[in-house]
Structure 1
Amino acid sequence: MEELQEVNQKLDAKLICFFETLSSLYQEQEKLNDQMKDGFWNMSRARYNMGVRFVGMDQIHEERMQALTKVKVEEEGTDVFEGYSSLSVSEENIQVETIGLRKRNVGQSPEPSPPLVSPDPSTKTKRQHDPIKWFGVLVPPSLRQCQNQFKSSVETTIAVANLKQKLMQLKSEYVNLQKKKAEMTSALK
């Protein structure tokens, strides 16, 4: 009889934990919705300010594109998904392009710019590369806000995935406890 009471208490605890996790999931999904909405809103503001020609797919160079955030999937532990930032890119792969800029002081000789590649090819230096620079040096604040919203939405997406995984685990544990309770009650009869 004590075992049955213990199983009932575990069932109650699992159910409470399930609904708390479900509430957290709804909050994170709402947060993700707001981040995505704000990100797209700021992107449309940047396109309006800079012009559609300067903020679009034409500025994206797929051959040089690298992920800024990677997601690591683990089967052990409570959090199955983990995100980490990977912002370093070797300078050899970066080429600066200017699109649509006017040439000023055409009669004067330009000063030599520092090379992007380090003088010693055996040492590959790493530096932070920000894809927002594809759209120019002086981008509007709305484009930077857009980037920040989408970066934070990646972390929120990982939190949502982990909460959904936890809900599935809690549901499985609850079903197993219900089966155990049914076996115990049938054995008592």
Structure 2
Amino acid sequence: MATSIQLSPESLCDGLDQLCIQKLELMDNFIKSNMMLESKMRGGFFLLGKTRYALGNKAVSALQLPNEEREVDALATAVMTPVPLEGYEGDILYQHVDTKFQDPVVTLVEEDEEEEAPDKMVIDDEVQMEGLRRRFKNTEDEDPFNENGIEELESSERKVKIFNRDPIRWFTALPPQTLRQAQSEFKSALQLTSQCATLKLKLRAVNKEYSRLKEIKAKLESLEKEP
């Protein structure tokens, strides 16, 4: 629906009719999305109940949730995309709400040896003896641990650690199939929530445009009635 409508009673009526149809379609999609959201949430809680029945009533509860002192990174975030202005042709502008899921598996690369001061660094017997030999050969102004000693002690080998931040592992190390299905249902519910938010924003923009055209039509009708 274009907002750049000619100021004539016929074009205004056509624009209002099209906006009414668009409002009805958005309301229908919004109701269907809410019904699907309720179904996903109901299925997720039902699967959580089955998991508690299989693992025990205390296996899946609030006791396994992290406390306030523990920092937890959210793996699902809601992102609002900016309104695209490129290629604008007079359509109604509204923002989109999307849900982004991060990969719970994180790979960290750590060095084997910690970075310490040269006087506190642990050196084996052979390297220490080699440093002593260099110290006798060097002059007083030269530092034997300036470049050669430290570079030789630095290790290029690194350890790779893999961390799994999946919240499903808060409850058990080996999640059952019902718990994985419940997680999938709740992820779908998050996506439907973003879809409902986008439809609500678009419906609000259509209502605003409908009110604006209605005011313009009322002003035109008042001007035509004046002698």
How does the TM-score come out when normalised to structure 1?
A: 0.76
Cα 1:123–1:72 shift into 2, 3 Å: farther
Following superposition, the deviation at residue 185 of structure 1 comes to 1.1
- The structure with more helix, counted as a fraction of residues: 1
Aligned to 1:66: 73
1:159 to 177, 195, 203: 195
Aligned to 2:25: 20
User: Identity of paired residues, percent?
Assistant: 27
1:87 to 92, 103, 110: 103
Unaligned runs of at least 5 residues, structure 2? 1-5, 85-93, 115-157
Q: Aligned partners of 1:16, 1:73: CA distance in 2, in Å?
A: 26
Asked which structure has the greater CA Rg, the reply is 2
Q: Aligned partners of 1:124, 1:85: CA distance in 2, in Å?
A: 24
Q: Aligned partners of 1:9, 1:124: CA distance in 2, in Å?
A: 65
Aligned to 1:5: 10
2:215 to 160, 163, 179: 179
CA shift digits 1:86-143 (9 cap, x unpaired): 2346467xxxxxxxxxxxxxxxxxxxxxxxx745588886765322122223322211
Following superposition, the deviation at residue 83 of structure 1 comes to 1.6
Instruction: Say whether the 8 Å CA contact 2:105–2:166 is kept in structure 1.
Output: no
Following superposition, the deviation at residue 75 of structure 1 comes to 5.1
Instruction: Say whether the 8 Å CA contact 1:38–1:149 is kept in structure 2.
Output: yes
Q: Aligned partners of 1:126, 1:85: CA distance in 2, in Å?
A: 19
Following superposition, the deviation at residue 179 of structure 1 comes to 0.6
Q: Aligned partners of 2:71, 2:105: CA distance in 1, in Å?
A: 10
Following superposition, the deviation at residue 22 of structure 1 comes to 0.4
Following superposition, the deviation at residue 65 of structure 1 comes to 2.5
Q: Which segment is superposed worse, 68-77 or 19-28?
A: 68-77
Q: Aligned partners of 1:36, 1:151: CA distance in 2, in Å?
A: 10
Aligned-pair Cα RMSD in Å: 2.6
Instruction: Say whether the 8 Å CA contact 1:49–1:140 is kept in structure 2.
Output: no
Q: Aligned partners of 1:44, 1:34: CA distance in 2, in Å?
A: 15
Q: Aligned partners of 1:167, 1:141: CA distance in 2, in Å?
A: 39
Q: Secondary structure in 2 aligned to 1:66?
A: coil
Q: Secondary structure in 1 aligned to 2:8?
A: helix
How does the TM-score come out when normalised to structure 2?
A: 0.64
Instruction: Say whether the 8 Å CA contact 1:88–1:126 is kept in structure 2.
Output: no
Aligned to 1:109: none
1:148 to 181, 184, 187: 184
Instruction: Say whether the 8 Å CA contact 2:76–2:99 is kept in structure 1.
Output: yes
Following superposition, the deviation at residue 170 of structure 1 comes to 0.7
Q: Which segment is superposed worse, 72-81 or 36-45?
A: 72-81
Following superposition, the deviation at residue 64 of structure 1 comes to 4.6
Instruction: Say whether the 8 Å CA contact 1:90–1:127 is kept in structure 2.
Output: yes
TM alignment of 1:116-135, pairs within 5 A:
118-120=110-112, 129-135=165-171
Unaligned runs of at least 5 residues, structure 1? 93-116
Aligned to 1:113: none
Q: Please tell me the residue identity of whatever aligns with 2:59.
A: F
Q: Please tell me the residue identity of whatever aligns with 2:75.
A: L
